[in-house]
Amino acid sequence: MLDTLEELKTKALGELKNLNDRSGIEAWRVGYLGRKGALTKILRSLPELAIEERREAGSAANKLKALLEESLTNKQESLKKADIERIMGESRIDVSLPGYPVRLGRLHPTTQILRETSAIFASMGFEVVEGPEVETDYYNFEALNIPRGHPARDMWDTLWVDYTDEKGERPMLMRTHTSPMQIRFMERRRPPIRVIMPGKVYRYEAIDATHESMFYQIEGLAVDKGITMAHLKGTLYEYARRLFGQDRRVRFRCDYFPFVEPGVEMAIDCFICKGEGCRVCKNEGWIEILGAGMVHPDVLRRVDCDPEIYTGFAFGMGLERIPMLKYGIDDIRLFYSNDLRFLEQF
What are the catalytic residues?
A: 156, 177, 203, 217, 260, 314
| Planar angle of CA 286, 259, 293, nearest 5 degrees | 45
Give CA 284 to chain center in angstroms.
Answer: 39
Residue 121 in the binding site for ligand YSA (CB under 6 A): no
Residue 324 makes contact with ligand YSA by CB under 6 A = no
Among 175, 194, 321, 326, binds ligand YSA (CB under 6 A): 321
What are 145-149's contacts with CB under 8 Å, separation 24+? 145/258, 145/259, 145/296, 145/298, 145/299, 146/258, 146/259
Query: Do 317 and 324 contact (CB within 8 A), yes or no?
Result: no
Residues 134, 137, 140, 143, Cα dihedral to 10°: -140
User: What is the strand order of the sheet 193-202 is part of?
Assistant: 127-128, 193-202, 214-224, 311-318, 286-295, 260-269, 250-255
Among 9, 175, 194, 203, binds ligand YSA (CB under 6 A): 203
DSSP 177: S
Out of 222, 240, 268, 314, the residue judged to bind ligand YSA by CB under 6 A: 314
Q: Which stretch binds ligand YSA (CB under 6 A): 43-51, 231-239, 278-286, 290-298?
A: 290-298
Least distance between ligand YSA and beta carbon 207 (Å): 8
288 binds ligand YSA (CB under 6 A): yes
Does residue 140 touch ligand YSA according to CB under 6 A? Answer: no
Query: Which CB sits closer to ligand YSA, 64 or 178?
Result: 178
Please list every residue from 208 through 237 that binds ligand YSA, using CB under 6 A: 211-212, 215, 217
Task: Tell me the CA end-to-end span of the chain in Å, nearest whole number.
Answer: 92
Closer CB to ligand YSA, 137 or 212, in the complex: 212
Which residue, 28 or 216, has its beta carbon nearer to ligand YSA?
A: 216
Interacting residue with ligand YSA among 117, 293, 303, 326 (CB under 6 A): 293
Return the amino acid letter for 30.
Answer: V
Question: Which of 331, 273, 105, 140 has its CA nearest to residue 219?
Answer: 140
Range in contact with ligand YSA (rule: CB under 6 A) among 19-27, 37-45, 192-200, 255-263: 255-263
Tell me how far, at minimum, the Cβ of 345 lies from ligand YSA, in Å. Answer: 20
Spatial CA neighbour of 252 closest among 315, 198, 210, 296: 315
DSSP summary character for residue 284: S
Q: Between 143 and 182, how does the x/- string for binding to ligand YSA read (CB under 6 A)?
A: ----------------------------------x-x---
| Shortest distance in whole angstroms from residue 143 CB to ligand YSA | 13
**Three-state DSSP class for 346?**
coil
Contact status: 12 vs ligand YSA (CB under 6 A): no
Shortest CB 216 distance to ligand YSA, Å = 8
Q: Are 155 and 256 in contact (CB under 8 A)?
A: no
Residue whose C-beta lies closest to ligand YSA: 318
261 binds ligand YSA (CB under 6 A): no
Who's near 289: CB < 8 A, 6+ residues apart? 266, 267, 268, 317, 318, 321, 322, 325
Cβ nearer to ligand YSA, comparing 16 with 232: 232
Phi, psi of 225, rounded to the nearest 5 degrees: -75, 130
Strand partners, 65: none
Count of residues near ligand YSA by CB under 6 A: 25
Q: Which residues of this protein are in contact with ligand YSA, per CB under 6 A? A: 177, 179, 203, 205, 211-212, 215, 217, 257, 259-260, 263, 288-293, 314-316, 318, 320-321, 332
